[in-house]
């Protein structure tokens, strides 16, 4: 196919949330329609259509301090190996450069092999863990945790102001913020599993105790994206029955702009950072 025959890259709108959900569901990802609406409302989502059907996407979600997250890089099965993902990531990077943004992403091992030659620098590593729960639960732990407390801890750890993102999470049906003994986390719905994160704590013991309290009050499968360098936390999770599903490599394109004051124990998800 000649370059002039390549399907155009389009900017998607809020009405494309369901079409995006079809793509992420095909890939067996955990995003919901509400997640897609965050990207479409707060960021820029590029897409490629085959006729009326959306067949590829990539999103750029801006944060504070001239930073942005690249994610939702998806291509429908029959349209892979045509360079669509590369074109869409290039569109994200071009938009980021035009706006003076440093770009971040969390890549699978295969993705990291692609993004490295493009100029992305590896930073920390993540491990996605899953726990399948029986269909019974204790009463949720009492907690006076607030969105403002979570937002402040999130900024201290990431260096980003993510008020819009955390507010969108917290306002959803079924979401809750839980805190105890110097640890705080957000729990929200996903398409197939509930997600714990971000999670911050003074130490691994407090982080594990909070996860245990959350687990005992949940009935659905649970996902958690742990920071790999938090070894005691990871060991405690696997000892409690959590299984590692896959690794992610966090990568940065552009100059470092922020330094967190603490290391999180779990992040909001590879699509959000």
Tell me the pLDDT tens digit for each residue of 105-159.
999 888 888 888 889 999 999 999 999 976 667 776 666 789 999 999 999 999 9
List the structure tokens of 198.
């971000």
Pick the CATH number of 127-253 from 3.40.50.300, 3.40.630.90, 3.40.50.170, 3.40.50.10860: 3.40.630.90
Pick the CATH number of 3-100 from 3.40.630.30, 3.90.550.10, 3.40.50.970, 3.40.50.1700: 3.40.630.30
Query: Max alpha carbon distance in the chain (Å)?
Result: 61
The whole-angstrom separation of Cα 45 and Cα 21 is 13
Query: Comparing C-alpha atoms, which of 156, 174, 155 is closest to residue 165?
Result: 155
List the structure tokens of 130.
């899953």
The rounded percent of the chain whose pLDDT value lies above 70 is: 95
Residue 136 in contact with residue 40, Cβ under 8 Å?
Answer: no
Mean pLDDT of the chain: 93
pLDDT for 1 beyond 60: no
Structural domain spans, the chain: 3-100, 127-253
The whole-angstrom separation of Cα 180 and Cα 201 is 9
List the structure tokens of 53.
């059907």
Residue in this structure with the two tokens 């896959």, named with its chain if needed: 246
Residue 191 in contact with residue 28, Cβ under 8 Å?
Answer: no
74-83: average pLDDT: 90
Output the CA torsion sign for 221, 225, 228, 232: negative
Query: Has this prediction a pTM greater than 0.85?
Result: yes
Residue 235 in contact with residue 120, Cβ under 8 Å?
Answer: no
The whole-angstrom separation of Cα 36 and Cα 42 is 10
List the structure tokens of 247.
């690794």
Strands (DSSP E) found in the chain: 10-11, 44-50, 53-63, 67-75, 102-107, 121-131, 176-180, 183-188, 194-201, 222-227, 243-253
Other CB atoms within 10 A of residue 205 CB: 15
- pLDDT category at 38 given cuts 50, 70, 90 is very high
55-74: average pLDDT: 96
The string of pLDDT tens digits covering residues 162-212 is 999 999 999 999 999 999 999 999 999 999 999 999 999 999 999 999 999
The whole-angstrom separation of Cα 214 and Cα 230 is 19
């Amino acid at each position: 196919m000649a370059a002039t025959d390549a399907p155009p890259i389009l900017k998607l709108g809020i009405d494309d949330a369901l079409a995006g959900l079809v793509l992420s569901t095909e890939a067996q990802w955990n995003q919901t329609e509400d997640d897609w609406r965050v990207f479409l409302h707060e960021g820029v989502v590029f897409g490629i259509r085959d006729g009326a059907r959306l067949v590829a996407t990539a999103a750029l979600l801006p944060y504070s301090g001239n930073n942005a997250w690249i994610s939702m890089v998806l291509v429908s099965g029959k349209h892979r190996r045509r360079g669509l993902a590369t074109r869409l990531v290039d569109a994200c990077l071009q938009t980021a450069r035009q706006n003076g943004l440093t770009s971040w992403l969390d890549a699978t091992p295969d993705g990291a092999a692609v993004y490295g030659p493009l100029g992305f620098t590896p930073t920390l590593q993540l491990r996605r863990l899953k726990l399948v729960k029986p269909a019974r639960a204790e009463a949720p732990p009492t907690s006076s945790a607030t969105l403002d407390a979570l937002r402040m801890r999130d900024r201290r750890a990431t260096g980003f102001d993510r008020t819009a993102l955390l507010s969108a999470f917290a306002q959803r049906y079924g979401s809750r913020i839980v805190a105890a003994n110097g640890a705080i986390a957000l729990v929200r719905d996903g398409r197939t599993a509930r997600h714990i994160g971000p999670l911050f704590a003074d130490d691994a013991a407090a982080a594990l105790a909070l996860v245990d309290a959350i687990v005992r009050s949940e009935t659905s499968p649970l996902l958690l994206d742990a920071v790999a360098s938090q070894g005691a936390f990871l060991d405690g999770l696997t000892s409690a029955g959590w299984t590692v599903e896959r690794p992610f490599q966090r990568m940065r394109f552009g100059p470092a702009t922020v330094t967190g004051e603490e290391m999180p124990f779990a992040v909001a998800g590879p699509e959000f950072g």
